[in-house]
Amino acid sequence: MPVSTEGVMIPRNQLIDEELTGSPMSITHAVPMQMVGVQWFDERGQGHNEIWFVAGNAVYQPPNAEEWASQLKPVKDDLRQAILSQLNLTTSKEREPLPMKDEVDVIADEVAG
């Protein structure tokens, strides 16, 4: 039912100052989300490696996506193989791990000659 605010009718679900409440220990909505690694370039052409989330047709970019993605480390091989097996993702051909960021700048401005 709409609420009147100085003669203007605003639907109750559009009022942002109302606190969202519900039955204790209840869930009203749940959707599976898929985590994806994304490399993208901003309006200045600067590259970013981030982790985003996809739920249906919506895509969410966490505020710390780039920092969080930069902190990811590969797990030990035994654990990697175990989780891939548990998720039924093992293949006969082993895949190479994702490339890690180089610590060395391989593009030099000046070359000794």
Question: In terms of DSSP H, where are the helices of 1-113?
Answer: 65-70, 77-86
* Claim: this prediction has a pTM higher than 0.75: no
Give the angle 56-74-46 at the CA atoms, nearest 5°: 65
Each of the 113 residues of the chain gets a pLDDT tens digit; together they read 555 445 666 666 666 555 778 889 988 888 889 999 999 999 999 999 999 999 989 999 999 999 999 999 999 999 999 998 888 887 655 555 666 666 665 565 665 65
- Residue matched to tokens 């039924």: 88
pLDDT at 20: 75
Please give the DSSP secondary-structure letter assigned to residue 14.
Answer: G
Which candidate, 100, 103, 102, 80, places its Cα nearest to that of 91?
A: 80
